[in-house]
Amino acid sequence: MADQHTKKREEMDDKYKWDLEKIYANETNWEDDFKKLQQMIGQIAALQGTMAESPEALLRVMQTSDDMGRIAEKLYVYARMRRDENNANHVYQALFDRAERLGVEASSASAYIVPEILTIPETELKKYMQQNKDLAIYQHALEEILRQKEHILSAPEERLLAMAADISMASSNIFTMLNNADIKFPVIKDEKGNEVELTKGRYGSFMESSNRQVRDDAYKALYGSYQKLINTLGASLGSSVKKDIFYARARKYPSAIAASLDGDNVAVEVYDRLIEAVHNNLEPMYRYMKIRKEQLGVDDLHMYDIYTPLVKDYKVNIPYDEAQQTMLKALQPLGEEYLENVRAGLNEGWIDVYENEGKTSGAYSWGTYDTQPYILMNYDNKLDDLFTLAHEMGHSMHSFYSNRNQPYVYAQYSIFVAEVASTVNESLLIDYLLEHSKDKQEKMYLINHYLEQFRGTVYRQTMFAEFEKIIHDRAEQGEAVTPELMSTVYRDLNKLYYGPEVVLDEEINIEWARIPHFYSAFYVYKYATGFSAATAIKEAIRQEGRPAIDRYVEFLKSGGADYPIALLQKAGVDLTTPEPVESALRYFARLVDEFESML
C-alpha cells in the first residue's frame, strides 16, 4: 500500500474488507445464539444414558450434538474473526472469551457420546440403522468409532490415561521452554559488520545472506548453543519417544507408528512407500546440490550454503487487483465452474485484504459450515502475497465445495488432505508464471523458489519422517535413545539425502535437537504426501483436462465423508502405490533440468 502509516480499521475501504455481517447481522443475533446454545448444553447433558434405548434415542443425541456444533462454531468463528480485525478491541476480546468458554462447556457436556456408543453391541447398532433410515447418514461416523473399538480401554483405564495427559506433555513442554525461553545465542557480525545478537528469527535471514562468512558464523553460533544443552535435549526427545511407545502399547497397537497413523486409517506401508520412493529419486536432489555449488562458486558446499537464494531476490510489485487477475488466469485449467466460484469469493466479501492497526498478522482461510469461507490476508504487493492468495483460496474452495455437498458431520476434512487443494492452486500458479515469464532472471527466480519449496516439503520432511521411524524402531527393540544414537542416525540421513556434493559439518549431527515437530511424532510425512498428491493432481489436470477436473472437484466435494486415502483415490491419486510421489519427484527433476539449461 502506498501509505507510510498503518491505517486504522475504520479508514480502510469496505471493498477490501470481509463481510462478517453474513454470519451475524448484529451482536444481538449473536447473543440470541449464545442463549440458545446454553439451553442446548442442558438438553444434551440430560440425554446422557439414553442412547442405547432405541434408534430414535441414538438419533436424537447425534442430531442434537450436530446442532450444538453448528451454533458453537458460528459463535466462536464470528467472535474470533471480529477480534482478528483489531486485537485491541476490548468488545471482541470479551466476546471471544465467552464463545471459547461456552464451547468448552458444550464439549464437556457431550463427552459421553463416544463411550456410550461403544457400550451398544455392534449387532444392535446395525439393527438400529436398518430400523431408522435417518441414522444412515451417520453410518461412516459410527463405523469409524467401532473401527477403533479394540483400542478403546475400559472406563477406569481411559480415566487413568486421561489423568496422565498432563504428565505426557512434560517432554514437549520442557523442550518448548528450553527452545523458546532459556537458550541463549551469541552475538555475531551481520553483513554490514554490526554486532547483532543471534535469534531464531534472525537465523533464517542470516542463512539466506549472500555473505558466506555471515552464514558460517550464524550456523556455528546456533548449533554451538544447542551443543551446550545436548544431554538435556537428548533426554527430552528420548522421553517423548518413550511416551509414544507407552501409549501405543497401552492401546494395544503393534508399534508407535501404527498407533499414530491409525487416526487417519493409514497403513504403515504408505509411510514406508513414501520413504522408498524418495530414496529411489535422490539423483535430482544431488544434481540440484551440484548446481548450487557451481552457482555459488565455492570449492566445498557446506550445510550453511544450502538456503541462500541462487537468484538474488527478484523484486516485483503486484497490486492486489493484478494479483486477482493473475490468479484467475492461472486457475483456468480447473474449469469454468470452479472459476465462477472463485470470482464470487473475490467479489462477495470473502477476503480481508490489507493490514490495518491491530490486525492479526499472517494469513488463513476459515469460516463455518453455515456461512461462506473467509480469508484473512495482510497483502503487501509481493510475489509471496500472490502465492498466499492462491494458497488460501485453495483452502476456501475446498471448504466451499465440502460444506455445500456434505452433511455437517462430514464437512470437516482431515489434516492429511488439508494442504492438497491449496498446493494444487500454488502449482498451477507457478506453471502459469513460468509459461508467461519473458524475463530470464524472473524465470530462474521462480524455478529456484519452487525447487526450494519442494526440497523443504518433500525431501526434508521425508528425511524427518525417516528419522522418527528409526529412533522409535530402535527404542521398541530395547535400545537406549541417547544423544549419540540420534546424532549418528541424523548424520547418516543427511549424507543419504543431500549426497556427495555437500560437506557434512559436525554441527548438522545435532539438528534434531532443535526441531519441534519431533515432539508430535509421525506427523510431518503428511506434508510430503499432501504436496506429492497435489502435484500429481495438477499434472493430471494439465494432461487429461475434463476427466481429471471432474475427479478433483469430486474430491473437494467429499469433505471428510471417507478416509483420506479413499478420498484421494477419488481424485485419481493412489497413495497405496509409489506412483503419486514418484510423479511429483519427476516434476522436480524436470525443473532441475530446466534451471540447469538456463545457466
Catalytic residue numbers, as ranges: 392
Nine cell digits for residue 58? 441414538
| DSSP secondary structure letters along 291-319 | HHHHHHT-SSEEGGGSSS-SS--------
Region for 373 from its dihedrals, namely left if φ exceeds 0, alpha if ψ lies in -120 to 50, beta otherwise: beta
Q: Classify burial at 548, counting beta carbons within 10 Å of its beta carbon; exposed 0-12, middle 13-18, buried 19 or more.
A: buried
Cα separation of 13 and 143, whole Å? Answer: 49
318: left (phi over 0), alpha (psi -120 to 50) or beta: beta
φ, ψ of residue 279 to 5 degrees: the values are -55, -40
Rounded CA-CA distance 73/386 in Å is 29
If residue 2 lies in a helix (H) or strand (E), which one and from where to where? none
For residue 562, with 0-12 CB atoms within 10 Å meaning exposed, 13-18 middle and 19 or more buried, which class applies? middle
Distance from the first to the final alpha carbon of the chain: 35
Chain position carrying cell 510475489: 383
Contact 564, 533 (CB under 8 A): no
- Do the strands 195-197 and 187-189 form a parallel or antiparallel pair, or are they unpaired? antiparallel
| Phi and psi at residue 366, to the nearest 5° | -155, -170
- The closest alpha carbon to 338, from 548, 62, 50, belongs to 548
Cβ(308)–Cβ(208) below 8 Å: yes
Tell me the residue length of the chain. Answer: 599
Q: 3-class SS at 373?
A: strand
Instruction: In whole angstroms, give the CA distance from residue 339 to residue 441.
Output: 30
